[in-house]
């Protein structure tokens, strides 16, 4: 059996943080959110990161398959990206006027993204999705919007459901919901609200938490595109998670259709804080008419980092490389599970795959295996899709498979009913 990690410093820091920060660590990383169960198996604070790895405050090294929940696509501290960012930092970052880097970044995105005639920059994915919804309402003069159940579009009240803390009925009173891949239900919903729907917002494929991910049916997006065009509905694609991992031209291009608006963040600048919304020419004037800004939205360092990131992603053909890495990794994980008599289901797209051990509906087995992997230096989480970065090596994959094997052995000892 491999030696397992312990986290005394992380635990001490969590106790310290709880005194001054709600829950100590919030969001997905919070000890009660569900992605990190049991909490005792996971570190809470990092000390540094490089390439495909991060180290926690206790000095433990992890191969990071969460990639900062998506932003790390080239490896932490990528030399080319950091050089560009540092050069721009020496000239200025947050200044009263925007830098020429903003124009250069927008030009690059227009040249790269299939559906982009223009680009607008903000900070978070939720900034981009909120702007998309606002543009659609401004363009159409309509109030209602359709969303796919289980899709995640950020933490603004409009993007949540009644029952979430602080969300009131008025926040979501114009929201309509439909099941993924159910085109007929979508068409029926549109017909039930003639002339009322401003926007249909969806992720390129269904990659919700706690469920197997699901790809679009063969004709789903072509039919959705035609439906939106027919009824004057703005089709907005939330490419915050998938963007640049499936297709550098956008995930709408990957699936063979053209969005009206498309939202990016995460992998856009390899961890530097910027998001973008791109759109078709017909919506450019409407976007310009909406007052939407933030104090840090002209920061030029992330623009420089974004330019370097996109240029390198193109040069190395990152989507192809990530699919190859994903095939090696997930195929190996499935084989390791099978060698122990378990069934590991891989779903979604390989550059950001979802996995679930199917032998136990309670998910206790899955959580125990994930925890054992983490304690041996492979950072997975329980019920969220995982991400790949191009810094991963064959040696990293081999180590991951060794850890997975040892973790299954440990689980059989911990849970003898599955032995």
- CATH classification at residue 244: 3.40.640.10
Check residue 245 and give its pLDDT: 98
Distances (CA, A) of 174 to 154, 158, 192, 193, 290: 17, 9, 14, 11, 20
Check residue 34 and give its pLDDT: 61
- From start to end of 149-222, where are the E strands? 175-178, 197-202
Domain span at residue 241? Answer: 79-316
Bridge partners of residue 49, in order along the sequence: 54
Check residue 33 and give its pLDDT: 61
- Give the pLDDT of the chain (419 residues) as one tens digit per residue: 899 999 999 999 999 999 999 988 887 776 556 667 788 999 999 999 999 999 999 999 999 999 999 999 999 999 999 999 999 999 999 999 999 999 999 999 999 999 999 999 999 999 999 999 999 999 999 999 999 999 999 999 999 999 989 999 999 999 999 999 999 999 999 999 999 999 999 999 999 888 999 999 999 999 999 999 999 999 999 999 999 999 999 999 999 999 999 999 999 999 999 999 999 999 999 999 999 999 999 999 999 999 999 999 999 999 999 999 999 999 999 999 999 999 999 999 999 999 999 999 888 999 999 999 999 999 999 999 999 999 999 999 999 999 999 999 999 998 888 87
Check residue 210 and give its pLDDT: 86
Contact present, 47 and 57 (Cβ < 8 Å): yes
Please check whether residue 2 lies inside any domain of the structure: no
Please check whether residue 204 lies inside any domain of the structure: yes
Check residue 334 and give its pLDDT: 98
The number of folded domains in the chain is: 2
Given 267, 292, 316, the domain boundary residue is 316
Given 259, 294, 316, the domain boundary residue is 316
Distances (CA, A) of 51 to 87, 155, 242: 21, 29, 20
Check residue 31 and give its pLDDT: 56
d(CA 332, CA 318): 21
**Same domain assignment for residues 187 and 334:** no
Its sign, for the CA torsion 211, 36, 274, 323, is: negative
d(CA 307, CA 293): 21
Structure tokens of 396? 């990293």
417 Cβ neighbours under 8 A, 6+ residues apart: none
**Same domain assignment for residues 103 and 217:** yes
Check residue 378 and give its pLDDT: 98
**Same domain assignment for residues 186 and 252:** yes
**Same domain assignment for residues 312 and 322:** no
Q: What is the pTM of this model?
A: 0.96
């Amino acid at each position: 059996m491999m030696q397992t990690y312990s986290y005394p410093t992380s635990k001490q820091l969590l106790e310290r943080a709880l005194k001054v920060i709600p829950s100590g660590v919030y969001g997905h990383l919070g000890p009660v959110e569900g992605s990190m169960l049991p909490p005792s198996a996971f570190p809470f604070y990092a000390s540094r990161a490089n390439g495909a790895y991060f180290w926690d405050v206790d000095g433990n090294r992890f191969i990071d398959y969460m990639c900062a929940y998506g932003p790390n696509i080239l490896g932490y501290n990528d030399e080319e990206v950091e050089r560009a960012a540092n050069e721009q930092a020496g000239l200025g970052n947050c200044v009263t006027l925007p830098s020429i880097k903003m124009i250069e970044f927008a030009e690059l995105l227009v040249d790269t993204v299939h559906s982009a005639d223009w680009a607008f920059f903000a900070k978070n994915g939720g900034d981009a999705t909120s702007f998309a919804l606002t543009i659609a309402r401004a363009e159409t003069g309509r109030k209602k919007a359709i969303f796919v159940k289980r899709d995640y579009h950020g933490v603004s009240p409009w993007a949540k459901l009644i029952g979430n803390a602080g969300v009131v009925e008025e926040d979501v009173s114009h929201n309509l919901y439909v099941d993924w891949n159910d085109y007929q239900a979508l068409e029926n919903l549109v017909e039930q609200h003639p002339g009322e729907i401003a926007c249909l917002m969806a992720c390129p494929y269904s990659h919700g938490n706690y469920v197997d991910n699901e790809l679009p049916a063969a004709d789903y997006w072509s039919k959705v595109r035609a439906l939106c065009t027919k009824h004057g509905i703005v089709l907005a694609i939330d490419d915050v998670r998938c963007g640049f991992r499936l297709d550098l031209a956008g995930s709408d291009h990957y699936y063979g259709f053209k969005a009206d608006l498309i939202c990016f963040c995460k992998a856009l600048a390899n961890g530097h804080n910027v998001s973008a919304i791109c759109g078709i020419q017909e919506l450019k004037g409407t976007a310009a008419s909406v007052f939407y800004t933030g104090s840090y939205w002209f920061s030029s360092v992330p623009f420089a980092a974004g330019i370097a990131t996109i240029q390198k992603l193109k040069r190395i053909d990152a989507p192809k490389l990530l699919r190859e890495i994903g095939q090696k990794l997930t195929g190996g994980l499935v084989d390791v599970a099978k060698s122990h008599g378990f069934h590991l289901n891989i779903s979604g797209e390989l550059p950001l795959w979802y996995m679930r051990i199917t032998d136990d509906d309670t998910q206790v087995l899955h959580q125990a295996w994930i925890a054992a992997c983490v304690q041996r230096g492979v950072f997975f989480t329980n019920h969220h899709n995982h991400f790949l970065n191009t810094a991963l090596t064959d040696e990293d994959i081999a180590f991951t498979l060794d850890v997975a094997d040892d973790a299954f052995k440990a689980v059989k000892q911990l849970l003898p009913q599955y032995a």
